Chain A
Amino acid sequence: MTTLTGTALADVAHAQALATVPATGALKLSWLLLAFPLFGAVVLLVGGRRTDRWGHLLGCLMPVAAFVYGVIAYFTLLGDTNREQDQHVYTYILVGHFQANVNLLIDPLSICFVLLITGVGSLIIIYSVGYMAHDTDRRRFFGYMDLFLAAMLLLVLADNYLVLYVGWEGVGLASYLLIGFWQQRNSAAVAAKKAFVVNRIGDAGLTLAIFLMFSEFGTVSFTGVFRQAPSGGSGVATALGFLLLLGACGKSAQVPLQSWLLDAMEGPTPVSALIHAATMVTAGVYLLVRSNPILALSPDARIAIAVVGTVTLLFGGIIASAKDDIKKSLAGSTMSQIGYMTLGAGLGPEGYVFAIALLLSHGFYKAGLFLGSGSVIHGMDDEQDMRDYGGLARFLPVTYVTFGLAYLAIIGIPPFSGFYAKDPIIEGDFTEHGAGGWILGICALIGAGLTAFYMTRMMLMTWHGKRRWKAEAHPHESPPVMTWPMIVIAIGSVGAGGFLIINDRLEKFLAPVVGVPPVSHGFFTVAGGVALVLALAGVGLAWMMYGRVPVPETAPRGNPLVVAGRKDLYGDTFNESVLMRPGQWLTRLSVYFDNRGVDGLVNTLAALIGGTSGRWRRLQTGYVRSYALSMFFGAAVLVALLLAVRL
């Protein structure tokens, strides 16, 4: 516990030191980052069919332009002594003392994300030119992708929680549109709706967190909230921590809001690579790491974050091991890897920098894996079942090599990315959070073994062994417009982890934002060694099950864990029985009450009036003489009354 309070105090001191200065030089133009993709999206979506012929070129050009500006901004920031610069764009809301600005915060953390989003994003969008070549709606696809990039950049560049929330919802919208891109398929439309609804629950958490910040601190800007957070007491900090965690769970598909990510694979594969692997799903981790001064004040929230991350990394790993659909297996893997990042964020200053390092290198290797799977799906006529693959290595050599490099990176073989980024997080578990940390650490180690198992399983089922293709399959390598991005991303997945961790590059770079890890572990730690041994054991086990013996074309029944894993570990069943059914009962009850109670009252009254009027209506006979008679009668009555009153 002593280390805990020590780091907490160090973090508070750091939070107070956090200050931004107005942007200078090239960073004054940081709005360009948003303007490029937004321009692309507007032209493509508003321009309609007129832009069909050249739309995809514009759609590629805009992210590349944003990337070029991002690189310039990065080097400008490197050359500057003050690395937290704030660029005012315009005033969003101004009410009394409350002011929300659209300000862009260029600091080491946001620039890392900018480079990842625009860099990997550009490569994936270029890849999509080939992948979506035969789709009649290709222009709309690129419009949505550009819209996503603009929203994601707004999310990471915002200097206050309100504008971050705008970006947060923007990426949710883009994700919804792209999951349901093939909306003529019912499953895609349902998956999009599911992703939107589940995300809404997480968004509610973030919304409440922003409300709480406003009511407690009177401001929603990062600097203001972080400066005042210590005065709010630990109760407020804990509440904020839990609410932010809820938001992160929704966006990053962490247990218990994980169920949407597997269905999100209904979207085109480049979407899975960009949104549901490399960038959007990591927004939750960004939110937690960005809010580190709040988490520093609340050990409880950090423990909750670490536990959620640990549960998810095992959860995702088991699902990934059981699925036969290559994309769903990768989706499980993404959940699991983001679980590691969340776990890292839950470790405090010990883990922030490694969570970000894992996030950045994961952005490369998971994008590489998804693009590789997309290339296979493209070559196999949209077949996604790994039991119908096998022996593809000879037919898609470039894809095989890039996929293989990303595979080595994810299972953490030195000197590939995963080894550098993941092991410090596992090591950190044993030193943070006391005895409970051992449980987290052991789970994280098991997760490392699981990762190696399911990835090796995927490699063996897809690339090696006997051909189990369907009769009409004729696999072929993808065109260069798809293979070149894969090659570049493969280079990134090999080198990113080492580049970021060796010489503590990322650690020094991010120090102004997230603080410095109190202990340095070095590369080869006991936990890292155990993780490597377990990874090799996982590889061996997978080879025993899928390499040594032929893979059956129809899935065997499997043990109970596999059966559960195929059903997403009953995530949907749980949601249906605990949330959906009672919800339906409630709505049915309300509908019954509405029909019989409220409507009954109103309808009775209306029927009464209507029926009476129907009878009275018969007085209108159309005979002038009967009207005249009634007039005389009325006049006679009036006269009689007058006389009666008089007398």
Chain B
Amino acid sequence: MSPVDYVALSVILFVIGAVGVLVRRNAIVVFMCIELMLNACNLAFVAFSSMHGNLDGQVIAFFVMVVAAAEVVVGLAILMAIYRARRSASVDDANLLKW
């Protein structure tokens, strides 16, 4: 497999994630789709790193993982709090913060 195929895979994964974020209501699924997008980016980074022959992309991929881990911690906690309060994990039900 050439590095370009990895990039193509990453684009496919990213689009799947983005569509998932837009069409799914369940917050857990939305969350997983975001993870999918992040990892699609990671894949692209690593692919480009390999193409260009330096380590910058791989280092950034680690950073993204760390950020994703932290985000999951906070995000899931918020999700739990919302679920406990509203008995629903639908992102459309949590729409109070508006005009």
Contacts and interface: CB of A to CB of B under 8 A. Distances in A.
B95 A621 contact: yes
Interface in B21-74: 21-23, 25, 30
Contacts of B92: 623-625
Nearest to A616: B99
Contacts of A624: 30, 91-92, 94-95
Contacts of B30: 624-625
A593 interface: no
A548 interface: no
Which secondary structure dominates where chain B touches chain A?
A: loop
Contacts of B84: none
B96 A622 contact: yes
Nearest to B21: A628
B98 interface: yes
Contacts of A215: none
Nearest to B98: A622
Contacts of A618: 99
Contacts, number: 32
Contacts of B99: 617-618, 620-622
B21 A625 contact: yes
A603 B84 CA distance: 47
A618 B91 CA distance: 19
Interface string A622-647: 11110011001000000000000000
Contacts of A621: 95, 98-99
A523 to B, nearest CB: 95
B85 interface: no
B97 interface: yes
Given A617-B99, A618-B99, A620-B99, A632 B22 contact: yes
A630 to B, nearest CB: 11
B16 interface: no
A620 B94 CA distance: 13
Contacts of B18: 632
A622 B98 CA distance: 5
Contacts of B97: 622
A201 to B, nearest CB: 57
B95 A623 contact: yes
Contacts of A622: 95-99
Interface residues of A, number: 11
B57 to A, nearest CB: 19
Contacts of B96: 622
B29 to A, nearest CB: 12
Contacts of A617: 99
A625 B98 contact: no
A640 B97 CA distance: 31
Contacts of A623: 91-92, 95
Contacts of B98: 620-622
Contacts of B91: 623-625
Given A618-B99, A620-B99, A625 B22 contact: yes
Contacts of B21: 625, 628
A566 to B, nearest CB: 69
A327 to B, nearest CB: 68
A37 B33 CA distance: 87
Nearest to A629: B22
A574 B57 CA distance: 92
Nearest to A623: B95
Nearest to A614: B99
A629 B22 CA distance: 7
A628 B34 CA distance: 11
Nearest to A617: B99
B10 to A, nearest CB: 15
Contacts of B94: 624
A36 to B, nearest CB: 70
B95 A628 contact: no
Interface string B76-99: 000000000000000110111111
B97 to A, nearest CB: 6
Interface in A575-632: 617-618, 620-625, 628-629, 632
Contacts of B23: 625
A621 B92 CA distance: 10
A643 to B, nearest CB: 15
Interface in A448-478: none
A623 B21 CA distance: 12
Nearest to A635: B18
Contacts of B25: 625
A56 to B, nearest CB: 67
Nearest to B91: A624
Nearest to B24: A625
Nearest to B94: A624
Contacts of A620: 98-99
B83 to A, nearest CB: 15
A99 B64 CA distance: 75
A616 to B, nearest CB: 9
Contacts of A625: 21-23, 25, 30, 91-92
Nearest to B25: A625
13 contacts: A617-B99, A623-B91, A623-B92, A624-B30, A624-B92, A624-B94, A625-B23, A625-B25, A625-B30, A625-B92, A629-B22, A632-B18, A632-B22
Interface of B: 18, 21-23, 25, 30, 91-92, 94-99
Given A620-B98, A625-B91, A629-B22, 5 more contacts: A621-B95, A621-B98, A622-B97, A624-B92, A624-B94
Ranked 9 nearest A-B pairs via Cβ:
A622-B98, A622-B95, A617-B99, A620-B99, A624-B91, A620-B98, A628-B21, A623-B95, A621-B98
Interface of A: 617-618, 620-625, 628-629, 632
